[in-house]
């Protein structure tokens, strides 16, 4: 199983980090060891002083495919979750300045908390889904999938031109604006529409 993540897929988030708004999807990957399930606590790593939260809608791939046509891409995922792409922003910034890959900033152990999955058929409109992250009872990131730069289908079609998708793969589809540092003791709660799916602490 692999985790494919999309960077800068909400324009306001790209702007808040002084990044250009992309014209094609920006892709990076996380290993399966990045997953953090069952609302277990996230322990801040000792190699970073600036770990940021990034709340995202996550797709679960339902069957194998490559070179998938965009018009058929909706057939390749059937469940949705909320996840967090924890990012060591200090490491990422150093690597960006040198033109180096982001993996050390993005792919470390437990950097991808994931909620339980919900059948996509439960949602009336996949492109009008509200999601948010509360920290210590205050809304920190609020997003809606209508603001995606690249649709779920476009992402699947694009990625599958280069990388075969397999059943069980996860696609983290990008984060809205409002990313910021997390601290020991923070209580994170993630919502998809009005359902709380993530509920864990930083330690």
Cβ atoms of 156 and 48 closer than 8 Å: no
Name the 3-class secondary structure at 145. Answer: helix
For the chain, helix, strand, coil in percent to 5 are: 25, 35, 40
Note the pLDDT of residue 20: 77
Residues in a beta bridge with 157? none
What are the tokens at 36? Answer: 């953090």
Query: Does residue 22 carry a pLDDT above 90?
Result: no
Q: 112: which residues sit within 8 A by CB, 6+ positions away? A: 3, 30, 34, 35, 36, 83, 84, 85, 86, 170, 172
* Confidence band for 126, pLDDT divided at 50, 70 and 90: very high
Cα 182 off chain centre by: 16
pLDDT, average across residues 14-30: 82
Which two structure tokens, joined as six digits, stand for 194? Answer: 């009005």
Q: Give the start-end residues of each E strand in the chain.
A: 3-7, 26-30, 35-36, 51-53, 55-61, 77-84, 87-88, 112-113, 118-119, 130-135, 138-144, 170-172, 180-181, 187-192, 195-201
Check whether 129 has a pLDDT greater than 80. Answer: yes
Provide the whole-model pTM. 0.96
- Lowest-confidence region among 96-105, 113-122, 124-133: 96-105
CA distance 166 to 160: 10
Q: How many CB atoms lie within 10 A of CB 30?
A: 21
């Amino acid at each position: 199983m692999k985790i494919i993540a999309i960077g800068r897929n909400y324009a306001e988030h790209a702007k808040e980090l002084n990044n250009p708004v992309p014209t094609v999807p920006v892709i990076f990957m996380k290993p399966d060891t990045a997953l953090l399930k069952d609302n277990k606590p996230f322990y801040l790593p000792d190699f970073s002083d600036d770990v940021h939260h990034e709340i995202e809608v996550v797709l679960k791939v339902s069957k194998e495919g490559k070179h998938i046509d965009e018009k058929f891409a909706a057939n390749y995922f059937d469940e949705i979750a909320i996840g967090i792409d924890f990012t060591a922003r200090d490491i990422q910034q150093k690597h960006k300045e040198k033109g180096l890959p982001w993996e050390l900033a993005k792919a470390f152990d437990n950097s991808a908390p994931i909620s339980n999955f919900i059948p996509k058929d439960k949602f009336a409109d996949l492109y009008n889904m509200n999601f948010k992250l509360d920290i210590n009872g205050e809304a920190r990131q609020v997003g809606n999938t209508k603001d995606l730069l690249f649709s779920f289908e476009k992402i699947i079609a694009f990625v599958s031109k280069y990388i075969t998708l397999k059943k069980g793969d996860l696609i983290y589809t990008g984060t809205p604006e409002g990313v910021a540092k997390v601290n020991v003791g923070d209580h994170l709660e993630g919502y998809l529409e009005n359902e709380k799916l993530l509920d864990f602490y930083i330690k």
